[in-house]
Amino acid sequence: MRTIIWIFTAIIFLIVVSFVGYNYFTAPSTDQIDSIKGLVIIGRQYVNDEEIDMSKISNDTDSPNVQVLHILGEYYARLQKDTRALKDQKNQLLILSQPRNLAASQTLDVSLQRVDDYDKKVAEMRTDLLANLDDHSAKLAAIKKVKGLVFDTVLMSEKLAQKKTRVEDEVKLYAGVSQYVRALLQFAKSRTGYVVLKNDGNLYFSNPADQDYYSKLVYGLNQFMGKIDDYNTQDINEIRKQDTDLGRAINF
């Protein structure tokens, strides 16, 4: 998610610079102003996890600015679908690491299979995230530079194409969740008969060394998830600020 938000923030920054520079010399047209408003709308919808609703954007596809908006709208709608799927898969996986599920020895093999399924789903999402970058980078590059085009589509295309490594790193964060959950499940399975779930909802192992190892795994998983949450919060706040600044530049 941090990578995804970073990409949008970079695009916003480029457009602010282009827009301000362009209008230092030339009064903006209605089409240009409406296009910047459209970008702000898309940004707000994405950051607020609302559906990307292109009905609020001009459908005048004769306008190159509107063409760019629709390419970006398609990109973020697909991105939103993939990231929601990743988040949903991650949340389902975390349920398996809860004490009551770790104590259910009869379902541990099924839970481990679900971890495998999660890994496959993350791999599928990785493929689609990268394809999404390629597809829309190419579409942006195909927009010809004409008078009145407020977006630097060449630079935007290049920026999207350059984010593959960062997307790879981001996907690894999601893939890393399974390492902790798998370790917890495997450990619980190996200690069947030596662990109990007490009324306080926690697991207790008969061997103090096992209890310590279990606690370290839980701590590691919690630290990992906290880091992801911190990244998301920081970057969402950043893009909201950038989006607000862009809106102010056009009194929107």
pLDDT score, position 213: 97
Of 164, 203, 202, 185, whose CA–CA distance to 118 is shortest?
185
Residue 214 backbone dihedrals phi, psi, to 5 degrees: -60, -45
pLDDT at 6 over 70: no
At residue 204, the 3 state secondary structure works out as: strand
pLDDT score, position 2: 52
- pLDDT grade for 225, boundaries at 50, 70 and 90: confident
Amino acid, res. 52? I
The pLDDT tens digits for 95-117 are 999 999 999 999 999 999 999 99
- pTM summary value: 0.81
Of 147, 127, 201, 162, whose CA–CA distance to 11 is shortest?
162
Amino acid, res. 201? G
At residue 52, the 3 state secondary structure works out as: coil
Of 134, 18, 4, whose CA–CA distance to 65 is shortest?
18
- pLDDT grade for 1, boundaries at 50, 70 and 90: low
Report how far residue 232's alpha carbon sits from residue 187's, in angstroms, rounded to the nearest whole number.
30
Do 184 and 205 touch, CB atoms closer than 8 A? no
Q: Which residues have C-beta within 8 Å of that of residue 56, sequence separation ≥ 6? A: 38, 41
Angle between helices 30-47 and 64-96 (to 10 degrees): 0
Report how far residue 174's alpha carbon sits from residue 224's, in angstroms, rounded to the nearest whole number.
10
pLDDT score, position 30: 82
> Which has more pLDDT, 36 or 250?
36
- pLDDT grade for 241, boundaries at 50, 70 and 90: confident
- pLDDT grade for 23, boundaries at 50, 70 and 90: very low
Q: Tokens 């991105």 — which residue?
A: 79
- Residue % of the chain over a pLDDT of 70: 88
| DSSP state letter for 26 | S
Amino acid, res. 199? N
pLDDT score, position 17: 47
Task: Give, in degrees to the nearest 5, the angle at Cα 149 between 147 and 152.
Answer: 120
**Domain count of the fold of the chain:** 1
Average pLDDT over residues 6-10: 54
Among 29-33, 140-144, 229-233, which stretch is predicted with the lowest mean pLDDT? 229-233
* Domain membership of residue 209 as a residue range: 2-249
pLDDT at 53 over 60: yes
The pLDDT tens digits for 82-92 are 989 988 999 99
Do 206 and 190 touch, CB atoms closer than 8 A? no
Residue 247 backbone dihedrals phi, psi, to 5 degrees: -65, -40
